[in-house]
């Protein structure tokens, strides 16, 4: 534990110590006039008294102490390297909390790391991120024990790297049910007369996506409004896009746009689909919360041979509805590794405690200064 | 508390004190001075019209029956002794103690005067008042009775100490007022050399002068612990001082008091010291010159 000052320049406030000293000395020169008829028997040259006379030394000492404490408070005193608790047990929410040893602190792996005694919070943060934060917030000597469910969701591709060798325990618990079979992609097409020829390829792709189920495919003219639950829209029309369609995209939709549509080329558009010869087929650019996948070639086999390929539906699906990256792992395979440089711990701030001392000193000073026993007040 | 209202315990202690003239031979043939309202001195002087405040028993009822008017037999009693109270009203008499700033030396003097009047009333003597201040002295001619006491008390209540008394200037007029048979009791702090000289002069001319020196408790104890600026109200001189001067002052002041005592004793002047926080009857008993026979 090393005491230190984060802002030593504030110690210049110690100059204020002179104020109470001056107050307590200056009182001496203030003399009271008193009638005294027997003046002639007084020694006209009184022997010099002590050069410095301080009145009410206790009160002065208290005031000096108070000012010194305030100056110290301004200088932001801290303790570096305060020893933390010996052991922290972090339990992922949803697990039954185990019994914790007396010298250990049990917390939930959730935002704010609430104590295990509290009700388990609903966590939405990534468990890997929480583990990293907990590791960074703990002093180097503290042992960290992590209790996690058998399956972890939302993890990174890499095992988390911590600054300490954490104890990784996988709780025995029910594995979460596998995700339900995904519903096939639903594709809504809006086309004008020129786009009618492309409908057959898109319909074929939708049928291929559905497999044995009923394909979710609907095509209509550009005037028809777009239903609210639509996720994917193919816009096969010439000319500028109507305002309502743009708004729908900005609200979070994904639009596959024909090259005939008049659409400003955006700087951040990136190529997401290339043919075998590495020539671009489609670019993707964000728009509001949604995105636009723009085909660069007309939807006809002559300019887009991929239409005739057997894996065209898969390629199209990968472009317009890319699968989420894998984020689930067996916890036993995801134990964190040590080796990260320790995170510097923030020093222990003494100011709140000092503030209490200051308030206490001030109360005592006021009590002494205003008590009825005092005759005259400096 | 007004200095003219005597507390009951002081009143009862005063009953044991009598002020006796120094020279009983000077008394007229009226017998023992200590006798009250008896013997000579009670002789008919005149009839006078009744005034409000006169005691009803003094009314001459026979004359009332004849004239249908109230007349009072003014029985002027020729008391042989006048007790003069000479009060110093110079500014130094306004000094009070630190501990009791509302009770000044002058208040103590007024209380002593009230005590003296109480005694004079009790022994039937006449009494007069002389208040010596910077202006002309206030002189109330001798008289007797409760009304005269009240008159003097009224004058005393109005008097305020101020300025420096000029004793030398009025010494002659005082000498004329104070007869050789009278008792003059001076109530002062005694710091004024002119006052002492005047007392000595009058005493040398055969007057019976007595001095009660009224000192404050601060002059006895010197309780000044911090820095003070001492000021003489009469001369205007001032001096810085404090606790460091205590021992020297007490020694010099005691020496000065002892020297004055010796000087007064040598002249045969009865004297006493009265501290304003002390009992008023003690100095009176010391200068009274006799205790009343019960």
What pLDDT score was predicted for residue A56?
80
Which of A159, A108, A145 has the alpha carbon at shortest distance from A331?
A: A159
Q: Distance (Å) from the C-alpha of residue A53 to the closest C-alpha of chain B?
A: 10
Provide the CB-side half-sphere exposure for B60 (13 A, CA). 16
Nearest Cα residue to A300 out of A186, A221, A199, A191? A199
* pLDDT score at B109: 94
A253 vs A246: CA distance, rounded Å = 9
Query: Is B257 a domain residue?
Result: yes
Residue A317 CB neighbour total at 10 angstroms: 20
Contact B245 A41 (CB under 8 A): no
- A226 and A202, same structural domain? yes
A30: confidence class by pLDDT, cuts 50, 70, 90: low
Residue A49 — φ and ψ, nearest 5°?
-85, 180
Enter the tokens of residue A272.
Answer: 């997401």
A156 and A60 in a common domain: no
A160 has which bridge partners?
none
DSSP line for B237-249: -EEEE-GGGHHHH
Q: State whether B59 and B169 are in the same domain.
A: no
CB contact (8 A) between residue A38 and residue B226: no
Contact flag A32-B252 (C-beta cutoff 8 Å): no
- B 87-106 residues inside an 8 A Cβ radius of A: 92, 94-96, 98, 105
- Give yes or no: residues A228 and A285 share one domain: yes
Point out the residue among A34, A41, A47 whose CB comes nearest to the CB of B228: A34
- Report ipTM for this prediction: 0.71
Residues A115, A164: one domain?
Answer: yes
Min Cα–Cα distance to chain B from A370, Å = 21
The answer to the question of residue B31 being in a domain is: no
Instruction: Give me the residue from A31, A37, A40 closest to B233, CB to CB.
Output: A37
Beta strands in chain B (DSSP E): 42-49, 71-77, 82-88, 126-132, 138-143, 183-188, 208-215, 228-231, 238-241, 270-275
Query: Could you tell me if A280 and A204 lie in one domain?
Result: yes
Same domain, A238 and A142: no
Residue numbers of A between 31 and 60 with CB closer than 8 Å to B: 31-44, 46-49
Q: Give the count of Cβ contacts less than 8 A between chain A and B.
A: 84
Q: What range defines the domain where residue B57 resides?
A: 44-77
Quick one: pLDDT band at residue A181, thresholds 50, 70, 90?
low
pLDDT recorded at residue A185: 80
Q: Specify whether A77 is located in the same domain as A93.
A: no
Q: Per the structure, how many domains does chain B have?
A: 2
Q: A99 touching B, CB under 8 A?
A: no
pLDDT in tens, B219-272: 898 888 767 888 888 888 888 777 778 888 899 999 999 999 999 999 889 999
Q: Are residues B63 and B164 in the same domain?
A: no
* 3-state SS assignment for residue A167: strand
Gap from B96 CA to chain A (nearest CA, Å): 8
Residue A210 has what pLDDT?
84
Please say whether the beta carbons of B273 and A75 come within 8 A.
no
Give the pLDDT score at B51: 81
Query: Taking CB atoms and an 8 Å limit, are A42 and B227 in contact across chains?
Result: no
Instruction: Determine the pLDDT at residue B40.
Output: 38
Q: For residue B280, what is the domain's CATH number?
A: 3.40.50.410
Q: Do B230 and A34 make contact, defined as CB atoms within 8 angstroms?
A: yes
Q: What is the pLDDT along chain B (294 residues), one digit of tens a residue?
A: 688 889 999 999 998 888 888 765 444 444 335 444 433 345 566 788 888 777 787 788 898 999 999 988 776 555 678 899 999 999 889 999 888 889 999 999 999 999 999 998 888 888 999 998 887 888 888 888 888 999 999 999 999 888 888 888 878 888 888 888 889 999 999 888 889 999 998 999 888 899 999 999 988 988 887 678 888 888 888 887 777 788 888 999 999 999 999 999 998 899 999 999 999 999 999 988 754 433
Question: Has residue B200 been placed in a domain?
Answer: yes
- Asked if the Cβ–Cβ distance from A33 to B228 is below 8 Å, we say yes
Q: Is residue A362 part of a domain?
A: yes
Q: Is residue B191 part of a domain?
A: yes
How remote is the C-alpha of A252 from its chain's centroid?
Answer: 25
* Statement to judge: residues B56 and B187 lie in one domain: no
Residues B104 and B85 placed together within one structural domain of the fold = yes
Claim to verify: residue B237 and residue B142 sit in the same structural domain: yes
Give the long-range contacts of residues A309-316, CB within 8 A, separation 24 or more: A312/A201, A312/A204, A312/A205, A313/A204, A313/A205, A313/A206, A313/A208, A313/A209, A315/A273, A316/A205
Domain count along chain A = 3
What is the model's pLDDT at position B237?
A: 83
Query: How many Å lie between the alpha carbon of B190 and the closest alpha carbon of chain A?
Result: 10
Determine whether the interchain pair B253/A38 forms a contact, defined as Cβ–Cβ distance below 8 Å. Answer: yes
Q: What is the pLDDT of residue A222?
A: 83
Q: Are residues B231 and B169 in the same domain?
A: yes
Range of the domain at A96: 87-178+329-338
Residues B116 and B128 in one domain: yes
* Mutate: best of B220, B241, B260, B273, partner A, most A CBs <10 A: B241
Same domain? A7 vs A75: yes
Do B49 and B132 fall into the same domain?
A: no
Q: How far is CA A297 from CA A241, A273, A281, B75, in A?
A: 18, 11, 6, 153
Residue B38 in domain = no
Q: What is the mean pLDDT of residues A147-160?
A: 84
**Intra-chain end-to-end CA distance of chain A, in Å:** 41
CB contact under 8 A, B234 and A37: yes
Flag whether pLDDT at A121 surpasses 60: yes
Residue of B nearest to A32 (CA): B228
Asked if residues A62 and A93 have their Cβ atoms less than 8 Å apart, the reply is no
Residue B201 shares a structural domain with residue B227: yes
Q: Is residue A281 part of a domain?
A: yes
Residue A245, pLDDT score: 86
CA pair distance B242, B226, nearest whole angstrom: 6
Note the pLDDT of residue B164: 83
Please check whether residues B207 and B244 belong to one and the same domain: yes
Assess whether B73 and B182 both reside in one domain.
no
Cβ contact B221:A24 at 8 Å: no
- Which of A30, A39, A49 is closest, CB to CB, to B239? A39
Local confidence band at A228 (pLDDT 50, 70, 90 cut-offs): confident
Q: Count Cβ atoms within 10 A of the Cβ of residue A208 and give its class: 0-12 exposed, 13-18 middle, 19 or more buried.
A: middle
Average pLDDT, chain A: 83
| Statement to judge: residues B121 and B52 lie in one domain | no
The answer as to whether A126 is a domain residue is: yes
Q: Do A44 and B239 touch (CB under 8 A)?
A: yes
pLDDT of residue B294: 34
CA distance B228 to chain A (A): 5
In a domain, residue B169? The reply is: yes
Kindly state whether residues A208 and A263 are assigned to the same domain: yes
**Separation of alpha carbons B24 and B81, rounded Å:** 10
What is the percent of chain A where pLDDT is above 90? 11
SS3 B95: coil
Domain membership of residue A35 (yes or no) is: no
Residue of A36, A46, A376 to mutate, interface with B, max B Cβ within 10 Å: A36
Q: Does the pLDDT at position A40 exceed 50?
A: yes
Residue B38: predicted pLDDT: 38
Residues of A in contact with B253 (CB under 8 A): 38, 41
Q: Please report the residues numbered 219 through 248 in chain B whose beta carbons come closer than 8 angstroms to any beta carbon of chain A.
A: 219, 224, 226-235, 237-242, 244-245, 248
Whether A62 and A97 map to the same domain: the answer is no
CATH number at residue A266: 3.40.50.880
Q: How far apart are CA B237 and CA A39, in angstroms?
A: 8
Task: Please name the residue of chain A whose CA is at the shortest distance from the CA of residue B94.
Answer: A35
pLDDT digits (tens, 9 = 90+) for A4-14: 888 889 899 99
One domain for residues A77 and A98: no
Is A377 in CB contact (< 8 Å) with chain B? no
In angstroms, rounded to a whole number, what is the distance separating the alpha carbons of residues A21 and A19? 5
* Statement to judge: residues A74 and A160 lie in one domain: no
Which residues fall within 8 angstroms of residue A146, CB to CB, at 6 or more apart?
A: A90, A92, A109, A131, A166, A167, A168, A169, A336
């Amino acid at each position: 534990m090393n005491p230190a000052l984060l802002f030593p320049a504030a110690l210049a406030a110690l100059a204020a110590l002179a104020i109470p000293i001056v107050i307590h000395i200056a009182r001496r020169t203030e003399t009271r006039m008193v009638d005294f008829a027997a003046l002639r028997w007084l020694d006209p040259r009184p022997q010099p008294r002590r050069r410095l006379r301080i009145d009410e030394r206790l009160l002065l000492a208290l005031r000096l102490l108070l000012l010194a404490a305030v100056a110290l408070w301004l200088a932001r005193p801290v303790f570096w390297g305060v020893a933390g608790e010996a052991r922290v047990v972090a339990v992922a929410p949803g697990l039954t909390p185990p019994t914790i040893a007396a010298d250990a602190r049990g917390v939930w792996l959730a935002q704010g790391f609430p104590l295990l005694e509290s009700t388990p919070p609903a966590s939405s943060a990534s468990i890997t991120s929480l583990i990293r934060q907990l590791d960074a917030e703990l002093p180097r000597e503290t042992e960290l024990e992590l209790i996690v469910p058998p399956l972890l969701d939302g993890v990174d591709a890499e095992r988390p790297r911590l600054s300490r060798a954490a104890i990784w325990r996988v709780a025995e618990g029910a594995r979460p049910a596998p995700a339900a079979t995904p519903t096939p992609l639903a594709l809504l097409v809006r086309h004008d007369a020129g786009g009618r020829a492309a409908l057959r390829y898109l319909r074929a792709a939708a049928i291929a996506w559905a497999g044995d189920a009923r394909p979710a495919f609907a095509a209509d003219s550009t005037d028809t409004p777009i239903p609210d639950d639509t996720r994917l829209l193919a816009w096969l029309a010439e000319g500028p896009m109507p305002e309502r369609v743009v708004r729908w995209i900005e609200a979070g939709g994904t639009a596959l746009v024909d090259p005939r549509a008049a659409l400003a080329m955006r700087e951040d558009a990136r190529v997401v689909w290339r043919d075998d010869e590495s020539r671009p087929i489609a670019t993707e650019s964000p728009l509001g919360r949604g995105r636009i996948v723009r085909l660069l070639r007309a939807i006809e086999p002559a300019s887009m041979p991929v239409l005739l390929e057997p894996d065209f539906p898969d390629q199209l699906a990968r472009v317009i509805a890319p699968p989420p990256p894998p984020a689930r792992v067996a916890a036993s395979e995801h134990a964190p590794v040590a080796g990260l440089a320790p995170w510097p711990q923030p020093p222990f701030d003494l100011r709140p405690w000092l503030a209490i001392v200051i308030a206490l000193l001030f109360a005592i000073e006021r009590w002494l200064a205003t008590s009825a026993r005092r005759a005259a007040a400096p | 508390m007004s200095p003219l209202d005597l507390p009951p315990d002081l009143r009862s202690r005063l009953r044991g004190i009598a002020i006796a003239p120094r020279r009983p031979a000077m008394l007229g043939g009226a017998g023992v001075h200590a006798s009250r309202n008896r013997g000579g001195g009670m002789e008919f002087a005149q009839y006078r019209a009744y005034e409000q405040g006169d005691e009803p028993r003094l009314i001459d009822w026979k004359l009332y029956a004849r004239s249908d008017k109230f007349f009072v037999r003014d029985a002027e009693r020729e008391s042989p002794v006048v007790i003069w109270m000479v009060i110093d009203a110079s500014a130094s008499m306004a000094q009070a103690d630190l501990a009791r700033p509302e009770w000044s030396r002058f208040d103590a003097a007024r209380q002593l005067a009230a005590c003296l009047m109480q005694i004079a009333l009790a022994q039937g003597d006449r009494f007069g008042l002389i208040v010596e201040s910077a202006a002309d002295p206030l002189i109330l001619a001798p008289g007797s009775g409760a009304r005269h006491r009240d008159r003097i008390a009224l004058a005393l209540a109005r008097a305020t100490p101020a300025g420096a008394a000029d004793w030398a200037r009025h010494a002659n007029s005082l000498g004329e007022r104070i007869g050789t048979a009278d008792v003059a009791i001076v109530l002062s702090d005694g710091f004024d050399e002119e006052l002492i000289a005047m007392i000595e002069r009058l005493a040398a001319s055969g007057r019976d002068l007595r001095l009660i020196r009224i000192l404050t408790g601060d002059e006895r104890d010197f309780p000044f612990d911090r820095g003070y600026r001492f000021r003489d109200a009469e001369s205007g001189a001032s001096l810085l001082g404090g606790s460091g001067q205590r021992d020297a002052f007490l020694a010099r002041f005691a020496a000065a008091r002892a020297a004055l005592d010796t000087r007064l004793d040598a002249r045969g002047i009865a004297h006493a010291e009265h501290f304003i926080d002390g009992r008023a009857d003690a100095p009176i008993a010391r200068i009274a010159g006799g205790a009343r026979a019960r």
